[in-house]
Amino acid sequence: MSLPPGTLFLLASALLFAIGAHGLVTCRHLLRKVLALNVATTGVFLLLVTLGRSGTAVDPVPHAMVLTGIVVALSTTAVALGLIVRLERRRP
Amino acid sequence: MRAPPSPTASDPGNGDGLMHPVEITFDALLLFSMVVLAWQGVHARNMFRAVVSFIMFGLLTAVAWVRLEAPDIALAEASLGAGLTGALLLATLGRLAPERRGARRPKVVKLSTLPWLTMGLAGTTVLLAVTLTLPAPGLGEAVLAAMPAAGVDSPVTAVLLNFRAWDTLLEIGVMLLAVIALWSLGQDVLASKPRLPAPALPALVRLLFPLFVLSTFYLLWRGGHGPGGAFPAGALLAAGLVLALLAGAQVPERMRGAPLRWALGAGLFAFLVVAVGLMWAVGTFFAYPPQHASILIAIIEIAAGLSIGVMLTALFLGGEPTDIKGGGK
């Protein structure tokens, strides 16, 4: 049993992105949309780092990009959740 | 005590050797659980279950980063992606009206299968084609060649704070913007009130908090030559502060005005001072002179690390800190 390294990770990242994008469109509940967005983001991060490993030297640029991305994703999530809580309070 | 420039880069067999069956089985199990947990995190019937699945998904993702030899990202993912995001999600869930937490089947929008499937397949094919035409070696060798002038030994820190410092500057700007956006929505709503009447928690936090601060500075110091640096350090500091808030601590009265705002802005401020100072001294934005690179990066890293910790805590609070009527001590 031999696979080129990274195949499984590429496959999983595609699946994760699909689950996230599908959930983002289909779910009505706003909290679920936030969760779906985070799942899709993780898929993209996995793809970036897996592609960065394909060369001979480990490429630190995707690592730095993903670190930046995780923090930006967290900021987005925090603002989205803050908005959701305020929206819920308005709802009768 | 300095490590060689890049311990993993020259290791043969990472790049294109074939993997051991045990490794393949481990990866397959790990990734399969991740996909299942992600599906549950989006579609589980009970909202609480969905959130807990998502937190577990974040933890497994951290393991996947270790498998991909990205310890920096694993640290950030475990503390931010799983830890702080999880705490935020649970706090939000607690604020939703009970009937919105839903034990019913989640409402979904029905999609017509054919057009979406066609679009998805077409998109995937295009992406695959683009991926296969990417230049294979990436920037790994270019970064290795530039490392002697970087002022730090860890390639990831070098990229973050030297070669692509501009991106990191903007990222800290984005975080500050998120805090401003939340503060402009009003007072804190998420986590200010201690929900757990547990007497052991405050005592435990009093015991643990100094350790959190100590580890923060250890990670900051370590960032120069290994996995660590401003982001994991900031995340750890935030974890300690959030734990203290959950145990009933409040933002002290005298810290609330100017000191808190300065702490929030310190990272961006240090970054901008260094960048503009260099523009004035050398003539280029963010062109560190190699003999001073080390110290300049250390200044930015300490300021950014502390500031990131405070900003993450502010994001968790979800608004400007206020007094709580009838709270604990």
Which of B138, B168, B186 lies nearest to residue A59, judging by beta carbons?
A: B138
pLDDT digits (tens, 9 = 90+) for B171-188: 899 999 999 998 888 766
| Dihedral (CA of B272, B274, B277, B278) sign | negative
Which pLDDT score is estimated for B10?
A: 38
B62: tokens are 């951290």
pLDDT digits (tens, 9 = 90+) for A15-69: 899 899 888 888 888 889 999 999 999 999 998 888 877 666 677 888 888 988 9
Rounded Cα gap, residues B55 and A36, in angstroms: 13
Cβ–Cβ below 8 Å for A35 and B136: no
Q: Identify the three-state secondary structure at position B320.
A: strand
Give residues with Cβ within 8 angstroms of B318, minimum separation 6: A78, A81, A82, A85, B91, B182, B185, B188, B189, B190, B191
- Which residues 112-171 of chain B have a CB within 8 Å of chain A? 120, 124, 131, 134, 136-141, 143-144, 155-156, 158-160, 164, 167-168, 171
Angle, helices B85-95/A30-52, rounded to nearest 10 degrees: 170
Give residues with Cβ within 8 angstroms of B39, minimum separation 6: A19
Rounded Cα gap, residues B197 and B115, in angstroms: 53
What are the residue boundaries of the structural domains of chain A, listed by start? 7-90
pTM of the model: 0.83
Grade residue B51 by pLDDT with cuts at 50, 70 and 90: very high
Class for the domain spanning A7-90? mainly alpha
Cβ–Cβ below 8 Å for B319 and A82: yes
Q: Rounded to a whole number, what is the distance in Å from the CA of A53 to chain B's nearest CA?
A: 7
Which of A8, A12, A78 lies nearest to residue B178, judging by beta carbons?
A: A78
C-beta of residue B316 within 8 angstroms of C-beta of residue B190: yes
Rounded Cα gap, residues B271 and B307, in angstroms: 11
Cα–chain center distance at A69: 9
Rounded Cα gap, residues A80 and B305, in angstroms: 24
| Dihedral (CA of B309, B311, B312, B318) sign | positive
| Helices assigned H by DSSP within B2-139 | 21-43, 47-67, 71-76, 85-95, 98-101, 113-132
Residue B230 has pLDDT above 90, yes or no: no
- Which residues 3-42 of chain A have a CB within 8 Å of chain B? 3-5, 8-9, 11-12, 14-16, 18-20, 22-23, 25-29, 31-32, 34-36, 38-39, 42
Residue B7 in contact with partner chain A when CB distance is under 8 A: no
Which pLDDT score is estimated for A41?
A: 94
What are the residue boundaries of the structural domains of chain B, listed by start? 20-103, 153-329
* Complex-level ipTM: 0.92
Residue B248 in contact with partner chain A when CB distance is under 8 A: no
Rounded Cα gap, residues B206 and B208, in angstroms: 6
Assess if CATH 3.30.1600.10 describes domain B20-103.
Answer: no
